[in-house]
Amino acid sequence: MKKIFSEFLKGIFKENPTFVLALGLCPTLAVSVSLANGVGMGIAATFVLLGSNIIIALIKNFIPDRVRIPCYIVVIATFVTITELTMKAYSPALNRALGIYVPLIVVNCIVLGRAEAYASKNSVVDSLFDGLGMGAGFILALLLISGIREFLGAGKLFNHTVFKGFEPAFVLGMPSGALLVIGLLLGFFNILKNRKL
Amino acid sequence: MNLAYFLTIFISAVFLNNVILSRFLGLCSFIAISKETKPALAMSLAVMFVTTMSSVITWFIYRFLLIPFNLTYLRTISFILVIATFVQLVEMIIRKISPPLYRFFGIYLPLITVNCAVLGVAVLNSDMFFVNGKVLPGSFIYSVFQGICVGLGYTLAMLLMSGIRERLDLCDVPKAVKDFPLAFIIASIMSLSFLGFTGFSR
């Protein structure tokens, strides 16, 4: 039980996919314009991560070593397609907002990275919690980045105006703002890490 | 087919919606390999070749397989599989035919499979040039041209970045932002300067 819990927690702090492992940055930066988009992307990626981790942990003994990467990609692409179709059916607005970044979850390094580095070597239950933890870490990172960008770039949180008379810095809503925020956050986490040691 | 549209695609893919600086595709390789100019150039050329070829291949698959059989929902799976296979094939061919070329960009080729830029171009092409399952006239040429232009945009950003980072080696930067964080901040400033191209499209 304790091990399972630590599997879950390590994805959030010690091996946070975005800030520590620096994986899957493309969708993180592209969709973090608003909190709603960020959360939508986070949940979609978590679902794919969870599904592919479970399936790959189940079939890891049947996959020949030399063709493992294509096999993983097929499993991941299947879950991405499920996500894409579900999102199109139930939340077309979110699907439009995320655009090409939904099919691009296939090449999100977090998913393939966890399949290769974790699910292919560990049991189903462990992989399930690893997927959940990584997904939670990804969602938290997206919340942080998109929160900063939406608040400073549009003066809103979840599309509600927070302050009246606050002049937003539009640049944070633009691509260059995303790069700036992630650069400064990575620097900030570096300082925290160095202080602890 | 008109020439003005080619120009629009070119400006849009290279400057306005630069793959890296405004669409954020292929960001991982951009940050990881842009420390020196030579590997950066090798990677860019490899990416340009693969985006172009994958535009060609995925166009045929989408036009003659997925649309006629009403299978467009299989787009993601089929595209990524074809791209992965193609990259593997190219790697094998290069290793057999030209060992120096293989040494030049051998290790970067497998990385391209999971480079979002390649799948991104394929998806973008099928979104832009096929509307509701109908083929727009000239879509093949446009797709291929867009593949080349996206590769050019990637090369441009990569060369600029590696040039800057080579010089940064000699500078005294704060320890906290050394390497990756600083690379992102530089990319942010570059992206800001690319905003100056907005308005070109009209």
> Is the pLDDT confidence value at A163 over 80?
no
Q: How far apart are the C-alpha atoms of A141 and A124, rounded to whole Å?
A: 26
* More confidently predicted of A65 and B144: B144
pLDDT mean across residues, chain A? 83
Gap between the Cα atoms of B30 and B159, Å rounded: 10
Is residue A127 one of the residues assigned to a domain? yes
Assigned domain for A165 exists: no
pLDDT value at B71 more than 80? yes
User: Considering only A110-119, A164-173, B3-12, B16-25, which range has the smallest mean pLDDT?
Assistant: A164-173
Say yes or no to pLDDT of B135 above 80: no
On whether the CB atoms of residues B145 and B50 are closer than 8 A, the answer is no
Nearest CA in chain B to A78: B77
In a domain, A95, yes or no: yes
DSSP A106-168: GG-HHHHHHIIIIITTS-HHHHHHHHHHHHHHHHHHHHHHHHHHHHHHHSEETTEE--TT---
Question: pLDDT digit string (tens) for A41-86?
Answer: 999 999 999 999 999 888 888 888 777 878 888 899 999 999 999 9
The verdict on residue A48 lying in a domain is yes
Q: Residue A94 falls within a domain, yes or no? A: yes
Which candidate, A162, A153, A185, places its Cα nearest to that of A33?
A153
Phi, psi of B85 (to 5 degrees): -65, -45
Query: ipTM of this complex > 0.85?
Result: no
Residues 6+ apart with CB under 8 A from B10: B145, B149
Specify if A181 maps to a domain. Answer: no
Is A163 part of any domain? no
Q: Which of A130-144, B43-57, B97-111 has the lowest mean pLDDT?
A: B97-111
Band of the pLDDT at A114, cuts 50, 70, 90?
confident
Residues of chain B in contact with residue A106, where contact means CB-CB under 8 angstroms, are 76, 80, 119
Asked if B161 and A166 count as a contact pair (C-beta separation under 8 A), the reply is no
CA proximity to A93, closest of A159, A155, A179, A173: A159
Q: Say if residue B132's pLDDT is above 90.
A: no
**pLDDT score of A80:** 92
Specify the number of domains making up chain A.
Answer: 1
Calculate what percentage of chain A has a pLDDT beyond 70: 98
Q: How confident is the model at residue A176 (pLDDT cuts 50, 70, 90)?
A: confident
Q: Which among B116, B183, B191 has the least Cβ separation from residue A107? A: B116
How many residue pairs from chains A and B have C-beta atoms closer than 8 A? 124
- Determine, yes or no, domain membership for A164: no
Report the greatest alpha carbon distance in chain B.
Answer: 60
Which structural domain, as residue segments, surrounds residue A100?
2-147
User: How near does any CA of chain B get to the CA of A152, in Å?
Assistant: 16
Mean pLDDT over residues B9-29, rounded? 83
Cα(B148)–Cα(B49) distance, integer angstroms: 8
Structure tokens at A187: 């620097």
Dump pLDDT digits (tens) for A12-49.
777 777 777 777 777 888 888 888 888 889 999 999 99
pLDDT at residue number B70: 82
CB contact under 8 A, B73 and A81: yes
Specify the higher pLDDT residue, B132 or B70. B70
